Structure 1
């Protein structure tokens, strides 16, 4: 990379996630100096973002770039070592940025939680990115670094061989701050992602022509509603991208390092059965409506109505975000000893369990921005610990051997071992 390039350029800096990424970049640059700039369509709006979210920063470069203008994207990419892309939904706006980054030999990270986009980019640009020596890493926000790197952390601490991992997501507020907790952009991505979920089967068949080995004992799903000893309350399957991202990482570990791939199921927990039921009803209505154009139109026009008040164009207020907490609890089952080959079958049932946890605050727009920025910084500073010399990778595949978990532990995310039991 040319020496005159900025370390990081935040593209989409005037969007909701982009603004808070600017806020955290200003704080982080004071602690871990790096050069950075911001990019978007309108100079005045970008100047306003700097004035509000980075008032103490001087001479931050502003770059004009538009996803509908290939030349502007190319010039933006040529100004940076890493593009931090906050411009979603990525289904519509992500590909031109990745294409420009590969052509300019610039690394790219984003916070997409859209499996169709993520896996299509891997299929269509994986070879080009690797040949260019460029890392393209999606899902670098709350979707799905806590889950994906949480599983990596667990596997590193297990001291044996992991067969299966179950994850339980909890979120809560310590005060009754009320108001929306999700910005419209996240809602829009979910609407179109679910509407096109049927694309995934064929996409994955092309991306992964060889299936993973069928390992025993098989991890069975606990069904739509259940109670768990490790997560107080009522739990149901988590519909986000965590499982698909984590399974990509496990496949990579198997193919690259000959490591037994963990079977994974992801759940979310609610304190009361009523809350779970209300969420399930909203989810069912949402899913049904995404199947029809008129339904999608209504969902996008009236997000607050169809989300039960959780979504708004304005997004959550700062006091609400700072009061939001989360924990992701992991239960692993496996064996104290590793066999010679990852596909070898253990003669005895699993004899070891481990519980780990990742926790933090403000998952949507605090933890997300911090993990996104550390993904970029890790590429800049620890590429020698990353695999393949480039490619379209999941966070766990890209950063599993770096110090990113230790760094996140110092910055509002906590990775910890809760218990370990040998039977």
Structure 2
């Protein structure tokens, strides 16, 4: 990577709902201009909207936050931006529509990249088209650096490292239990979900979406059959009713790619899945069944054009809209990752006291970008289309812990 760049980080999509939260996070924790830990700028398509964001941040000197403009579909304009920075942090989705040219621009200008995508087809595309060129350029293309899929990927990475240290072998199976989660949803997230549903009408895309190993490196043999919780059942380990978790299939694909990129450090027969937990209380089974039914109904309605239109015109937030500040401040999540190996069991709890999809995600991707920009000498010597664990590993965990997230080990009896 070129040493002399104007900026360490540029936020692409800073005028969007999540982009604005990332700006607020970096401003609060790192400042800008004189005295700041690093140099950063904001970028997007609309200069006027970016000026509004800069004004809302109440800067003493607005000129200390430069504004750059470009077009997500114009490679030349994107390269003019990526050539000026060490790292591009992008919040512009759906990534299947607006992310491909930016990835290409980053590779051509030797710029590291991080995003928030939860779109399997998009990542599958970048692996197929850009893995080799990114490796050759020594660029880290790091997908899914927010609630999708930092807690899952880094929690599993941490748990397997503990197993190797304690037992000398990896855990054969890990299950992530969603113990508690509270947060809102934005129009951008809905737009990405709708785009995936549209793409799923293509049989080749459906094949990618259904394959638990779709994000494996090229020509890598598939592993064992993987579980995917669809029904409600009692779980002795969590002492609660478990059901489907909407992000499970995507997060699990990221975890499996990490395993493959680490030369199967977790084992070639490694099993991983994620479930939601309804604690044992009066009527808890009925609550769990209602949750599963509602989840199935919602995703089904997103698949069909008329019901999708109806939802978008009535209850769903539009792009640029999102949960209120009050909702974000009251948000949090607690995940337990429990792994087994022979008669051994280990657990790590990953938690954050911020709205998982927004304030928490701004923290996660913000720290990921800072990690890529400032901690290069501490990072694994891996390049290409990567995951949070394979790109940054323990260094990112350390940053996230300092920022307020918790990754806590405990032994299970």
1:171 aligns with 2:174: no
Do the aligned residues in 2 keep the contact of 1:26 with 1:57 (CA within 8 Å)? no
- Give the equivalent residue in structure 1 for 2:301: 289
Do the aligned residues in 2 keep the contact of 1:367 with 1:412 (CA within 8 Å)? no
SS in 2 for 1:169: strand
2:56 to 52, 62, 76: 52
Distance of 2:266 and 2:234 partners within structure 1 = 35
Against the structure 1 CA distance between its residues 153 and 104, is the aligned structure 2 distance closer, same or farther, given a 3 Å change threshold?
A: same
SS in 1 for 2:14: coil
Q: Can you list the C-alpha shifts for 1:212-235, whole angstroms capped at 9, x where unaligned?
A: 454xxx875565212334546432
1:74 to 54, 79, 84: 79
- Give the equivalent residue in structure 2 for 1:103: 108
C-alpha displacement of 1:170: 3.1
2:406 to 391, 405, 414: 414
- Give the equivalent residue in structure 1 for 2:25: 24
- Give the alignment of 1:326-345 within 5 angstroms: 326-334=333-341
1:210 aligns with 2:213: no
- Give the equivalent residue in structure 2 for 1:321: 328
Distance of 2:300 and 2:370 partners within structure 1 = 41
SS in 1 for 2:48: helix
Against the structure 1 CA distance between its residues 53 and 242, is the aligned structure 2 distance closer, same or farther, given a 3 Å change threshold?
A: farther
Q: Can you list the C-alpha shifts for 1:48-93, whole angstroms capped at 9, x where unaligned?
A: 1122235356511110122133322111111111000011111111
C-alpha displacement of 1:247: 1.1
* Between 320-329 and 228-237, the greater mean CA deviation after superposition: 228-237
- Give the equivalent residue in structure 2 for 1:37: 41
- Give the equivalent residue in structure 2 for 1:85: 90
- Give the equivalent residue in structure 2 for 1:190: 193
Against the structure 1 CA distance between its residues 189 and 312, is the aligned structure 2 distance closer, same or farther, given a 3 Å change threshold?
A: closer
Q: Can you list the C-alpha shifts for 1:221-253, whole angstroms capped at 9, x where unaligned?
A: 565212334546432122312111111111222
- Give the equivalent residue in structure 1 for 2:292: 280
Q: Can you list the C-alpha shifts for 1:364-387, whole angstroms capped at 9, x where unaligned?
A: 112211111221122223334444
SS in 2 for 1:182: coil
2:395 to 403, 412, 417: 403
SS in 2 for 1:364: coil
Distance of 2:398 and 2:215 partners within structure 1 = 36
Distance of 2:73 and 2:142 partners within structure 1 = 22
Against the structure 1 CA distance between its residues 56 and 81, is the aligned structure 2 distance closer, same or farther, given a 3 Å change threshold?
A: same
C-alpha displacement of 1:125: 0.8
Distance of 2:45 and 2:120 partners within structure 1 = 27
- Give the equivalent residue in structure 2 for 1:354: 346
C-alpha displacement of 1:263: 1.3
1:242 aligns with 2:251: yes
Say how many residue pairs are matched. Answer: 390
Do the aligned residues in 2 keep the contact of 1:163 with 1:262 (CA within 8 Å)? yes
Distance of 1:32 and 1:150 partners within structure 2 = 30
Do the aligned residues in 2 keep the contact of 1:353 with 1:420 (CA within 8 Å)? yes
1:141 aligns with 2:150: no
- Give the equivalent residue in structure 2 for 1:12: 13
- Give the equivalent residue in structure 2 for 1:252: 261
- Give the equivalent residue in structure 2 for 1:157: 162
Q: Can you list the C-alpha shifts for 1:271-330, whole angstroms capped at 9, x where unaligned?
A: 5445433432332223333443334333433343xxxxx889631111111101111101
Segments of 5+ residues of structure 2 without an aligned counterpart are none
* Between 258-267 and 240-249, the greater mean CA deviation after superposition: 258-267
Distance of 1:219 and 1:229 partners within structure 2 = 20
Against the structure 1 CA distance between its residues 312 and 229, is the aligned structure 2 distance closer, same or farther, given a 3 Å change threshold?
A: farther
Segments of 5+ residues of structure 1 without an aligned counterpart are 174-179, 305-309, 335-349
Q: Can you list the C-alpha shifts for 1:339-389, whole angstroms capped at 9, x where unaligned?
A: xxxxxxxxxxx1200121000122111221111122112222333444455
Do the aligned residues in 1 keep the contact of 2:114 with 2:369 (CA within 8 Å)? yes
Q: TM-score, normalised by structure 2?
A: 0.86
